[in-house]
Structure 1
């Protein structure tokens, strides 16, 4: 049983890390391309990170989910430095780390409530922090209409958080809850 547990955790960690790296790197490139005055293409990809974080917290526990966040942060910032502007890479890193760690904390505290409460609450709160930090750090003092982009971005994050409840519900049926297994 111990070997299975270790392999399960390693596989979950790797899957979380790959998903985080791809999503954050793509989002850091796509955020440089506005769709309109209220939205960038990055707003369509980044919110999925919150579902990945929530699934990692559920499957691996809060401590290991934080490790996924730290590793994803390091890899994504390094890749983003080569694929996006340094300012965007650093703003993204600061916002990502803060918001994802907050997401793990909130999700872990609410995980025993209704199945939808933890992912929805953690995503709504962490997305607000992420959006405010990222747009202020990345675009303050530029000609980019960052306040309106931030508002549009947050609205999309909320909509995607709601939409992610459907795949989250389907996936939690396949992923054991580490906290429940310990009880």
Structure 2
């Protein structure tokens, strides 16, 4: 990714429709209740966060995040359903065969995708595709920095919520790993 590559340019190359800034995030009352990221935000705080985010729309089947790419943004799903998948070990990275991808999750409105790469700048761990029409709010690392500088309380709350989400995912992954290792031990 080039330094001058804007968030809008990255989304446009993906073929995603740009809908402008995500103003009045608080108008989506149900989203504030179901989203683990937004659950503790006041309406005003949600609006401050939303004003730093780019709202996009994707058609069913459209790629939102590509495994292995480097980028510095995440998405909050506003509407729709997203499939999260990872290429099988040894599969050709260019392969379009659906059997070469293992489904990791199906996510709905309120979920966050891509937060690990936004925070650490490392390549994406998995790919995400729209299963239905999807609207999402895209947050860049630069926007987080700006939010921390201009609205420190909202920026801090955002970072705490992201940390909590990552900790929960790590716990879930660790639990799944223990189950697999326990089955392997029982089989030997």
Q: What TM-score, normalized to structure 1?
A: 0.29
Structure with bigger helix share is 1
Larger radius of gyration: 2
Q: What TM-score, normalized to structure 2?
A: 0.28
Structure with bigger strand share is 2
